[in-house]
Structure formats: structure tokens, C-alpha cells
Amino acid sequence: MATIEEALELERLERDIFRGASLKTQLPRTFGGQVAGQALVSAVRTVDPKFQVHSLHGYFLRPGNPTEPTVYEVDRIRDGRSFCTRRVTGIQDGQAIFTMSASFHIGDEGPEHQDLMPQVPPPDDLPDAENAMSPERLWAMREWEHWDIRPIPNDQVTRRDGLGSQQQVWFRYRHPLPDDPLFHVCTLAYMSDMTLLGSSKVTHQDEPTQNASLDHAMWFLRPFRADDWLLYDQNSPSAGFGRALTGGRIFTQRGELVAAVVQEGLVRTLRTV
């Protein structure tokens, strides 16, 4: 399957118009993380390099067709001294399939604090998914064969009182990536859509559901590398009426909180007729 470099590659058609190629895939619709990652790359290419992306807010409007390229139109909403704002619309067949607002910050000094990382088994103590999954599950995960994804067993998840549903996952890109920090941010935007909605299914594993991402928000808090181990500490505070709210905190192995994610998704009972 495609590498992350191929997944995030864009062709510039005009000053603020880009096109992402269709990629080899076994999915029936375009992976949401690919659309979000490409949209963010489009925004990054219209901003002065002295600015770093610190947040994004996106809506998945229609399923993407994975056999067709997606065109991204960027609106330069604001260029300030400390902040820049961009709005990106992903389009297929003349219809918007995704829209995103992204904010960039030049970086300032201020007070610092962060949550502590949960105490969890280190990734090297967990089996590589390639060696631990059933053949059926391994086939399904071929889409992300360049990622090392190691879920923490349910009985080893660090539990916090009062949370509705939790799961924790270690992940990293298997191959060395370019040193450009913005490339790692866009890579994480791509990967952040993977596994998160599954945190809402932990307590409903036997219930067949139709699942899809509806909206997605991220905040980038500290520098990181996506080819180093990252812990995705996920929870789902609420599910009902065919939707589930999920959230995640992403830590480095050193315990640095580098990103936060919130997503709502479609999680409705699977219709048999």
C-alpha cells in the first residue's frame, strides 16, 4: 500500500488549489485521515514557514471515492503577526467531501504545564501486530502496513474512574521520515483518525454497527516525531442516538503530551434491510 510520503503528496494546480492523487487501497471509501492530512498539507503550503500549525477543525461531509483524486481549495482567511488562519475544502465531482479550518502560530513564551502520561506497558513489551493478528485481521490492516500499531490489552489499560469507555494504543511509522516538523504534524493528522472511533466500541464489541468519522479536531502542543513511539490514550465519554464522542491524548515515550484530539463519529446499529 501507499507510503505516507505518497499519501500526503500534492500537485499544485494554482496558487491556492492542490490535487491529491488517488492511491491503491482496499477501502470502499477514502480513508478520513488521508483527506485530513492532504487538506492540512494544502494549508501548510500557503503559510510562511515561520508559522507552525497548532490546531485544526474538520468536517467529513460526504464519503470520498478512493478511485478519484481530491482537489483542495485553500482560502487565506487571515495573515497576522502571530497567527494565520486557513480554510480548506476538499472536492470530488464538484461536491465538497471535507472542510477544514487550520490555525498557525509563530510561537511565543508563556507558562507551561501538562497532564501526566498514564502508566502503561512499554511498546517493546507488546507483540508486533504483524505477528499477533489473525490472518483475517492482518489482511484488513494491510492498508496501514507501514505503521506499527500495538493496542494495549484491555486488562492492562490504565483505568480512570468515571470514564465510559477507554482504550490505549502505541503507534509509530515503521520507516525513517524527513526531519521537517510540519511533515510529522501532517503525518499525525493522517494517523489520528485511525483507531480513535474504536474507543467507543470497547464496551459494545458484540453489537454490529455502521461507523464513520463525522468531525475531527486536533491541537498540536509540543514537537514530536511520528517515526518514534507515540501513546494514543483514548476514551469515549458518550454514545447515543447513533453517534459517539471520542477523545485522545498523544504522548511520547518520554511522557511529553504532544497532541490532543476530539472526534464525533457515526456509530449506529447496523441495518439488516
Active-site residues, by number, are 193, 213, 263
Other residues' Cβ atoms within 10 Å of the Cβ of residue 9: 15
Separation of alpha carbons 38 and 71, rounded Å: 10
Nearest Cα residue to 221 out of 181, 252, 182, 260: 260
Separation of alpha carbons 258 and 18, rounded Å: 28
Return the H-helix or E-strand segment holding 14: strand 10-14
Separation of alpha carbons 182 and 168, rounded Å: 25
Separation of alpha carbons 11 and 128, rounded Å: 35
Contact between 260 and 249 (Cβ < 8 Å): yes
Nearest Cα residue to 35 out of 16, 14, 62: 62
Nearest Cα residue to 44 out of 229, 184, 234: 184
Separation of alpha carbons 104 and 82, rounded Å: 8
Separation of alpha carbons 106 and 98, rounded Å: 26
